[in-house]
Amino acid sequence: MRVSRRPHGVHLLALDLAAALSIAVVYVGFARMPGDGVQPSYSGPAWAGVLVAAAVGLPVAVRRPWPVAAAVTASAGASAATLSDITREPWAAVGLVLYTVASGTPPRRSVPVLVGSLVLAAAAVTAGEAVVTPAETWSGALGVTALVWLVLCGGWAAGFVVRTRRAREADRAALRAERAVVEERLRIARELHDIVSHSLSLIVVKAGVAGHVARGRPEEAEDALRVIEETGRAAMTEMRRTLGVLRVGSPSAPLGPSPGVDAVGGLADQARRAGVDVDAVVRLPDGALPAGLALAVHRIVQESLTNVVKHASPARCRVTVEADAHEVRIDVTDDGSRGAGRERPAGHGLIGMRERAVMHGGTFRAGPRPEGGFAVSVRLPQDGTGTKV
């Protein structure tokens, strides 16, 4: 489990510095407190007391950039304060630094730091309370040690929980980013497939016609070649527009609206040139469809007609696009009168249409008709909700 190191804000470092100075000042005050007959007092030189106080408090100021070094220094200072009778409070500064160690470094580093701090605390507190200047019984010394351990382990555990939560958030963010990349790749793949498959299908059909009638009927061959040229130019234009989306800020990327329902008639004309007798009916309510929904309708009709050209041409085909306030209904049927013997493979075209329908919360059905031919039926809700398949 890896957590990226977060930058340390100036305001956080300022807060740490303020806390460090406060702790150091408090420890200097402890060093100057007289004994009360029960708890022994510090009897060493004043400069040594200030030095020990600085060793306990100042590491808090650098706990974010150098957590391990700060923990080692603070633990040593707290041990010195305990053994010199400055104070035997439960090592709050060390617990604060251990929180940063656990939240900012992996367990393979933070656990040894915790163990070292616990061992040092146990040795210093037990020796100070029961050996150097006895103020407690051995059982009392062990009780103080347990209290110190509770503070140190509590600080480390809180930091570990924060680190775990951050790691989970980072994993979720990475997963969302990965899903976004995959979805974008699928979207681009669908767009390119629809453009290339539709255009190449028309080109292949017309190239076959041109080759077949080149000698006997040169006029038909010229018409076929003209269709091939027009289809190729249109495909190149649409391909440049689609790829231009990937070139952010490119001045050469052509700008223009995405194809929508109003281009269904053009798709029908292209299919007619390939030998499919298309009857297209479009009934829309007042007001245009949303751009994303209109593009989905266009691509579904385009891929359906491409399948008719590839697998059933020449044939008769009916395209119906109807919409109301609740949904858009797309039905594409062909009779397959001269292509019924050819198998319709379940290629990427049908998969792409299903993905488009599901993406908009719609339903998709496709399959042979009982009376012959093939049918595609798609329902896309206007509000983006529906039964997914």
Single out the residue of 349, 345, 306, 279 nearest to residue 203, CA to CA.
306
Residue 56's contacts (CB-CB under 8 Å, 6 or more residues apart) are 23, 24, 27, 74, 77, 78, 81, 93
Phi and psi angles of residue 87, each rounded to the nearest 5 degrees, phi first: -165, 155
The pLDDT of residue 29 is: 77
> Which pLDDT score is estimated for 57?
86
Q: CA-to-CA distance for 342 and 324, rounded, in angstroms?
A: 36
Ranked by mean pLDDT, which of 38-47, 145-154, 172-181, 284-293 comes out on top? 145-154
The pLDDT of residue 12 is 84
Mean pLDDT score across all residues of the chain: 79
In the chain, where the domains are located: 10-176, 261-389
Q: Which residues contact 330 (CB under 8 A, 6 or more apart)?
A: 297, 300, 301, 304, 320, 321, 376, 377, 378, 379, 380
Model confidence pTM above 0.85: no
Per-residue pLDDT band for 231 (boundaries 50, 70, 90) equals confident
- Residue 268 confidence (pLDDT) above 70: yes
Structure tokens at 197: 């498959």
Q: Is the pLDDT of residue 1 over 60?
A: no
The predicted-structure confidence for 198-207, as pLDDT tens digits, reads as follows 677 677 776 7
Q: Is the pLDDT of residue 364 over 90?
A: yes
Gap between the Cα atoms of 41 and 210, Å rounded = 108
- Least confident piece of the model among 13-22, 29-38, 47-56: 29-38
Distance CA 295, CA 191 (A): 10
CATH architecture of 261-389: 2-Layer Sandwich (3.30)
At residue 307, the pLDDT reads 84
Residue 85 has pLDDT above 80, yes or no: no
Report whether 362 contacts 380 (CB < 8 A): yes
Higher pLDDT, 8 or 83: 83
Q: Is the confidence at residue 287, as pLDDT, over 50?
A: yes
Please tell me the predicted confidence (pLDDT) of residue 365.
Answer: 92
Contact indicator for 362, 305 with CB cutoff of 8 Å? no
SS3 of the chain: the string is CCCCCCCCCHHHHHHHHHHHHHHHHHHHHHHHCCCCCCCCCCCCCHHHHHHHHHHHHHHHHHCCCCHHHHHHHHHHHHHHHHHCCCCCCCCHHHHHHHHHHHHHCCHHHHHHHHHHHHHHHHHHHHHHHHHHCCCCCHHHHHHHHHHHHHHHHHHHHHHHHHHHHHHHHHHHHHHHHHHHHHHHHHHHHHHHHHHHHHHHHHHHHHHHHHHHHCCCCHHHHHHHHHHHHHHHHHHHHHHHHHHHCCCCCCCCCCCCCCCCHHHHHHHHHHHHHCCEEEEEEEECCCCCCCHHHHHHHHHHHHHHHHHHHHHCCCEEEEEEEEECCCEEEEEEEECCCCCCCCCCCCCHHHHHHHHHHHHCCCEEEEEECCCCCEEEEEEEECCCCCCCC
